[in-house]
Structure 1
Amino acid sequence: MLGYVIAEGRGAADLLLADVARHLHDDGWPLAGAVQVNSERGEMHPCDMDLHVLAADRIVRISQNLGSLAKGCRLDPSGLEQAVGMVEAALDAEPRLLIVNKFGKQEIDGRGFRPVIGRALAAGVPVLTAVNSANLPGFRTFADEMAEPLALDFDAILGWCRRVAG
């Protein structure tokens, strides 16, 4: 009950997961989780990264501006943890599906959405996420036999959601 897509290309998985979440929400599914929304700032600046927390219908900034010459990670850990807290609270409402924008370095290290994913799976709530190829080994170590790879395709993902969350 842990479906994942392999993120290919900048923002492709973000847009696809957001489309799936919007479609399921419009169909009346109670959802928990967060999808990433990137806002371009021009050629000279990296995009702003926000999470749309689905159940709370709130946007949380998860990037920080490190300056135009910075090369390091722009993730704002406090923004991420704020979003994680809201998503975790939404699990109390017994959602039909948890959507997590990605299983990344924070999750590999035991932080970020990792505890929320574990709690959802333990409660029988299916989880949908994205993983980039660099983080795939760490994700597979976490997921063990539970993970099911999905095609980076709207209909395939929607079909999986309907099958596992009926």
Structure 2
Amino acid sequence: MVRGDFGAAHHGDAVMRLGYVIAPGPGALDVFLALVAQTMKAQGLRVAGAVQRTLGGAGLSRGEMRLQILSGGEFLISQRLGAGAQGCRLDPGALEAAVMAVGRDLDHDTHVLILNKFGKQEALGRGFAPLIAEALGNDVPVLLGVHSNNMQAFQDFEGGMAQALPYDLVTVERWCLDAARCRQG
């Protein structure tokens, strides 16, 4: 596998692009990736994907997790487990519904797929993992957020094809634009 600028990995005749940004703290990537998606759309790119919004509220100690689908719509992906609950709040069924919604947006005209994170479900091969693989298999560049606690699982998944990108809006936007140009040309 040969790497070029911004992590283009050449595999056979296909150019596969997978970029990721490591979260500098809780919730930081949510706003960051939403801004990247908004800028890419403003640049005329066809963007598919989902970004997370976490909302606080009465009785919600850690907030309500929602996935905003970039083409429109939103899914509540957290469960209310009660005040003393310590378990995972993710609603796997709601996540799968969001994955299906993003999957309907992903086609041969997509310039870039932007996803809020590679999380526990993806580490298990569920969640957005199949959609990420499908996008890469169709030469659609993918931009992900990754938290340090999922880094080993992500590295196992990406197999050396991913490019770490700095938590810098200009650099990440440039990577998306370059990846889209490479896909077109």
Q: Could you say what secondary structure the match of 2:36 adopts? A: helix
Is residue 117 of structure 2 the alignment partner of residue 102 of structure 1? yes
Q: 2:130 aligns with which of 115, 118, 129?
A: 115
- The within-5 A match list for 1:75-154 is 75-92=90-107, 94-154=109-169
Is residue 84 of structure 2 the alignment partner of residue 69 of structure 1? yes
Q: How far is the alpha carbon of 1:97 from its aligned partner?
A: 0.3
Q: Could you say what secondary structure the match of 2:21 adopts? A: strand
Is residue 47 of structure 2 the alignment partner of residue 51 of structure 1? no
Ranges of 4+ aligned residues in structure 1 off by more than 2 Å: none
Q: How far is the alpha carbon of 1:94 from its aligned partner?
A: 2.5
Q: RMSD of the alignment, in Å?
A: 1.3
Partner of 1:2: 18
The aligned amino acid for 2:131 is V
Q: Tell me the distance in 1 between the aligned counterparts of 2:127 and 2:119.
A: 8
The percent of aligned pairs where both chains have the same amino acid is 45
Cα deviation per residue 1:86-133 (whole Å; 9 max; x = unaligned)?
Answer: 111111363100011100110010100000000000000000001111
The aligned amino acid for 1:66 is L
Q: Tell me the distance in 1 between the aligned counterparts of 2:137 and 2:126.
A: 17
Cα pair 2:59 2:83 within 8 Å, conserved = no
TM normalised by structure 1 equals 0.95
Q: Tell me the distance in 1 between the aligned counterparts of 2:125 and 2:165.
A: 24
Q: Tell me the distance in 2 between the aligned counterparts of 1:164 and 1:26.
A: 16
Query: How many residues of Structure 1 are paired with residues of Structure 2 in the alignment?
Result: 165
Q: 1:13 aligns with which of 29, 43, 58?
A: 29
Unaligned 5+ residue runs, structure 2? Answer: 1-16
Q: Could you say what secondary structure the match of 1:37 adopts? A: strand
Q: Tell me the distance in 2 between the aligned counterparts of 1:25 and 1:52.
A: 15
Unaligned 5+ residue runs, structure 1? Answer: none
Partner of 2:8: none
Q: How far is the alpha carbon of 1:44 from its aligned partner?
A: 6.1
Q: Could you say what secondary structure the match of 1:17 adopts? A: helix
Q: How far is the alpha carbon of 1:7 from its aligned partner?
A: 1.0
Q: Which is strand-richer, 1 or 2?
A: 2
Q: 1:30 aligns with which of 46, 49, 64?
A: 46
